[in-house]
Structure 1
Amino acid sequence: MVSDDLELVLSWRNHAEVRRYMYTQHEITLKEHTEWFERATLDTSRHLLVFELKETPVGFVNIREIAPGGIADWGFYAAPEAPRGTGQKLGKAALQYAFCQAGLHKICGQAIAFNQRSIKFHLSQGFQQEGILRNQHFDGKQYHDVVCFGLLATDSTSNS
């Protein structure tokens, strides 16, 4: 991701169908987004990626190393207008990057329990469900469980 991608990625992030599954529910301003990007690009533990199909940007991936030994979290979303199947391709490419180029050992993911698409997505990418954080997320009205996933580099290579 480069600064020229900021407005496009922000438009995806603020789309109602993307935003509803995020921990942060408000519409993010360009100023907020730019400040986040400036901080994130200085952080060597972060990998900010724009996923393209046929040279057209269709998704965003944020991989952040959270512990020594190549343990990382990820977050991602496809553009709301992306063709069907984009998410699967984005996931495969991002995991290939994480394990082969970035040399990470494990990717951790989370999904708010009502986000069944994300839960199914993680499982389809080979992740193991590693736990449930009960009442972990408060959306301003009610508490939601958060489902935790993990995928090891060795799991990923055996599924390829």
Structure 2
Amino acid sequence: MEIIGEMVRLRAVERRDLSLLREMLNDPWMESMTEGWHFPVSEEMQEKWFQSQSSKNELRCVVDIDGNAVGMVGLYEIDWKNRTGSIYYKMDRCLRNRKRGDTMDAVVSLIRYSFDELGLHLIHAEVLGENEKSRSLLEKLGFQQEGILRQRVYKGGNFHDQVVFSLLKEEYLQKKLFRKGE
């Protein structure tokens, strides 16, 4: 399966991508901007993760530009009955193979696929309160802030707020940004 965007291609994670993905996971800056894991991630840990990718409730995609993996996007906690899912995105901050707007294109492509092909009704995201870039991206895409989970994430010896956003299918349909080719 491939999802084609304006400048990116979303494809399945392959063994050749593991080195870059581990590099991203072990990047202290990346770890400080996200919640959910604590580095370092070893080759063995990543191999176990790679072998466990076949969940019906997750969709994991590598963001590919011109044959180079530059990040990862996906859905997790997909609830098929209620047609909801949580979106995530992590892009390599080293710009060696990146293009301006590639994160937006990757997220837009995944959202389009989620609503149009998977039939989801709502997509939500949770980001750290201080992750301004991520919050700004979600707001540009029409996500509404649902609330703040105060001091929900413990990182670097401190508790941090987590901001919850969501986008309904009807909001997606109204947003010109999601119409391919416009």
TM-score by length of 1: 0.89
Match of 1:45, SS?
A: coil
CA contact (8 A) 1:46 1:63 kept: yes
How do 1:117-128 and structure 2 match up within 5 A?
A: 117-128=133-144
Query: Is residue 2:88 matched to residue 1:72?
Result: no
Q: Give the partner amino acid of 2:68.
A: T
Indicate the residue corresponding to 2:48 in structure 1.
Answer: 35
99, 106, 121: which one aligns with 1:83: 99
Indicate the residue corresponding to 2:155 in structure 1.
Answer: 139
Q: Give the partner amino acid of 1:73.
A: S
Q: Which moved more, 1:60-69 or 1:131-140?
A: 60-69
Runs of 5+ unmatched residues, structure 2:
1-12
Change (3 A) 1:128 1:63: same
* RMSD (CA atoms): 1.7
CA distance in structure 1 between the aligned counterparts of 2:99 and 2:71, rounded to whole angstroms: 11
Shift of 1:140: 4.6
Query: Is residue 2:170 matched to residue 1:154?
Result: yes
Q: Give the partner amino acid of 1:136.
A: R
Q: Relative contact order (C-alpha < 8 Å, sep 6+): which is higher?
A: 2
1:89-135: CA deviation from partner (whole Å, max 9, x where unpaired): 11111111211222222111011111111111111111100010011
CA distance in structure 2 between the aligned counterparts of 1:70 and 1:30, rounded to whole angstroms: 34
Return the structure number with greater helix share.
Answer: 1
Moved over 4 A (4+): none
TM-score by length of 2: 0.79
Work out the percentage of aligned pairs sharing the same amino acid: 24
Query: Is residue 2:121 matched to residue 1:105?
Result: yes
Change (3 A) 1:58 1:140: closer
CA distance in structure 2 between the aligned counterparts of 1:88 and 1:21, rounded to whole angstroms: 17
